[in-house]
Amino acid sequence: MIYLDNNATTRVAPEVLEAMHPYLSSLFGNPSSGHELGRQMKSAIENAREEVALLIGAADPSEIVFTSCGSESDNWAIRGVLANHPDKRHIITTPVEHEAVRNMCRRLEQDGYQVTWLSVDRNGELDLAELSDALRADTALVSIMLANNETGVLFPMNEIGEIIRANSEALFHVDGVQAVGKIPIDLKTAEVDLFALSGHKLHAPQGIGALYIRKGIELPSFIIGGGQEEGRRAGTSAVPNIVGLGAACRLARTDDQHTRISGMRNQLEDRILNNFSNTHLNGIADRTKRLPNTSNISFELIDGQSILARLDHAGICVSTGSACHSATHESSPTLQAMNVPYALAQGSIRFSVGRYNTEDEIETTLRVLPKVIDELAAISPAASGRSA
Amino acid sequence: MDLIRDHFLNPRNVGDAAQPCFKAQTGSLVCGATTRLSLQVNEDQHITEAKFRAAGCEFLIAALSILTERIIGMSTADAASMGNNGDAIQAELKSDESHSHCIELACDSLLRAIREYSNATRDEWNGDEALICTCFFVSEQTIESEIKKRGLTTVREVTQACNAGGGCGSCQPLIVEILESLA
């Protein structure tokens, strides 16, 4: 199997599994317990917290709170800020956010909040002047992702943070789920108040996330219960997963593989765009403004779902923005917001490379793809077969 | 290999039927898929060639491949009945609810192509009695006499009484007119 769907989830790294293993067998204590076993758990959690802090450049490990997933982190950040500022009823976000932010903001709109949805251009980029204009005295929160999951387009987090600080008292939440482990991040030099991440996007297991909460900000607990995580997030700490996230962050920090990964992505992207007619890159062409591992390419007049299914049969895993693929029959909201024509969005395929891919796998993919595309093009009603 | 996978990876009857043929193009605003289905029908109202093209998911392509394979050799009435019974194909493909739309689209393109045939045949018909239902060859006179004899008031009742309108459905507006003229 060739796994080119690393933005969806990633394989647990052997180093991560190894680090977790004792905590799934002999080291089974509750970190809240007063005995030695409990203390060992507590210390494992604090080590992991430090690793997370180091990877994202937090000023202090105490700014990291463990959660169950990226969505919980996003939900908590947004709800928490609004609860702290009941008088402020305005939120600014973008239409290309992950569902955990987008659908939360839609819900808040129904609940009477005012939401400004900043627009993106055809390249998937924001107009920062639009952000400055949208900021108001009653803006409680600006929630803008760092990297888009579908196109890999990066938003200028530092610049956005400065604009928000200079023009308002709004807090800035960043959904960093897709970026962590893929690009260098240094939160202590950015005007970011809250930052969500998720373990399974960087070779930790599913079921572990974290929220960075800048020192000085207190969010009301999202889950009501015991006093875990300094009273900030109730629920028995998932020690094995937390240890796994710590190990994954260490791996990403000490052996990021960014150059090798971007090399493979570039090969794949260049050769698809050069060798296939009727292909279009979704997202800005400038690679310094995109994640180093992501390529979102549209194959004109071919349905992405059928490309996905054929590649799947050949043992290659990718994803698509085709409407048929989603349960709601909605084509990719990100591509819609970018005004990518419907016929192109339908034929979009996302390739997301990861540290366990090899150059051979990229070559194999490039060898299989032409047959898949040619055969599907031959079936397409747009094909000129025997005249009808 | 399961049925969907087999027909998706090796679709049968891809292309366009030889001219002159009866052709339907469909598109879905729901999922963005497009289809083209074309038929050759002989003088005995049997389908001799069925071809399709599609840009859509594996379920749509498999359903069109299976439909075209099965209707070759069938009367247009039997083929229309197959097109009207998308649930059976869905059950056979073991498709879940989320792909019912794709299979309906495949059935719809078949029915539309048969309607093209029926409308053309009706226009060209020069028998003694006006031909209304070309799937089951039911004349205007037969329909009128059934309506009068049994006091029929709806298209469904007419179909139950004499099959008219039970195939591709293209004559249902004509049956409505006949019902109205006799009411």
- Cβ-Cβ contacts under 8 Å, B58 against chain A: 305-306, 309
Q: How many CA atoms lie within 13 A of B104 on its CB side?
A: 9
On whether both B92 and B145 belong to a single domain, the answer is no
Q: Are strands A319-320 and A348-352 parallel, antiparallel or unpaired?
A: antiparallel
What does the pLDDT read at residue A232?
A: 94
State the pLDDT at residue A329: 66
DSSP alpha helices (H): ranges in B24-170? 58-71, 76-83, 86-92, 100-124, 140-150, 155-162
CATH architecture of A257-379: Alpha-Beta Complex (3.90)
Same domain (yes/no): B25, B113: yes
Give residues with Cβ within 8 angstroms of A225, minimum separation 6: A234, A235
Residue B94 has pLDDT above 80, yes or no: no
Nearest to B36 by CA among B19, B20, B55, B12: B55
Predicted confidence band of residue B91 (pLDDT cuts 50, 70, 90) = confident
User: Could B16 and A387 be called an inter-chain contact, meaning their C-beta atoms sit closer than 8 Å?
Assistant: yes
Report the distance separating Cα B167 and Cα B169, nearest Å.
5
Q: Are residues B158 and B89 in the same domain?
A: no
Query: Which residues of A are less than 8 Å from B33 in CB distance?
Result: 303, 324
What pTM was computed for the model?
Answer: 0.90
Q: State which amino acid sits at residue B31.
A: C
Residues with Cβ within 8 Å of A21's Cβ and at least 6 positions away in sequence, in order, are: none
**Whether residues B147 and B167 fall in one domain:** yes
The closest alpha carbon to B24, from B87, B80, B78, belongs to B80
Residues A299-333 as b/e (b if ≥16 CB within 10 A, e otherwise) read bbbbbbbbbbbbbeebebbbbbbbbbbbeebebbb
Give how many domains chain B has, as a whole number. 2
Output the CA–CA distances (angstroms, integers) from residue B108 to A272, B19, B85, in the order listed.
35, 22, 10
**Phi, psi at B41, each rounded to 5°:** -125, 135
Pairwise pLDDT comparison (B96 vs A227), residue with the higher score: A227
**What phi, psi does B139 have (nearest 5°)?**
-85, 165
Is residue A7 helix, strand or coil?
coil
Report the helix count and the strand count for chain A, using DSSP H and E.
12, 13
Separation CA B75–CA B13 (nearest Å)? 18
Blockwise average pLDDT, block size 10, chain A, 388 residues: 97 98 95 93 98 98 98 98 97 97 97 98 98 98 98 98 97 98 98 98 98 97 91 94 98 96 98 94 98 97 93 96 69 92 90 98 97 94 58
pLDDT tens by residue, B12-54: 999 999 988 999 999 887 888 899 999 999 988 999 999 999 9
Residue bearing tokens 């898949």: A372
**B11 and B68 belong to one structural domain:** yes
- The pLDDT of residue A386 is 42
Out of B100, B123, B146, a domain closes at B123
Domain with B114, as residue range(s), is 3-123
Q: Does A382 touch chain B (CB under 8 A)?
A: yes
> Do B119 and B31 reside in the same domain of the chain?
yes
Pair (B52, B138) in one structural domain: no
Last residue of a domain, one of B77, B99, B123: B123
Listed residue (B90, B41, B46) closest to B67, CA to CA: B90
Question: 3-class SS at A352?
Answer: strand
**Which residue in A has a C-alpha nearest to residue B4's C-alpha?**
A309
Taking alpha carbons only, the member of A143, A93, A120 closest to residue A282 is: A120
B142: domain CATH number is 1.10.10.1100
Give the pLDDT confidence score for residue A343 in this predicted structure: 82
B14, B18, B23: residue with CB nearest A379:
B14
Q: Which residues of A are catalytic?
A: 324
The predicted structure's pLDDT at residue A325: 63
User: 3-state DSSP: chain B helix, strand, coil percent, rounded to 5?
Assistant: 50, 15, 30
pLDDT at B114: 94
Q: Please report which helix (H) or strand (E) contains residue A297, including its range.
A: strand A294-299
pLDDT in the model for residue B93: 78
In this complex, which of A313, A324, A387 lies closest to B56 when CB atoms are compared? Answer: A324
Give me A156's structure tokens.
Answer: 């200028």
Domain shared by B119 and B133, yes or no: no
Question: Which of B32, B35, B102 is closest, CB to CB, to A346?
Answer: B32
Say how far apart CA B43 and CA B39 lie, in whole Å: 13
**Is A39 in CB contact (< 8 Å) with chain B?**
no
A327 touches chain B (CB under 8 A): yes
Let me know if the fold of A14-254 is the same as that of A257-379: no
- The pLDDT of B99-112, averaged and rounded, is 90
Domain boundaries, chain A: 14-254, 257-379
Whether the bond into A31 is cis, omega within 30 of 0: no
Q: Is A14-254 in CATH node 3.40.640.10?
A: yes
Tell me whether strands A194-198 and A171-175 are parallel, antiparallel or unpaired.
parallel
Q: Output the DSSP codes for A220-275.
A: PPSS-SS-TGGGTS-S---HHHHHHHHHHHHHHHH---HHHHHHHHHHHHHHHHHH
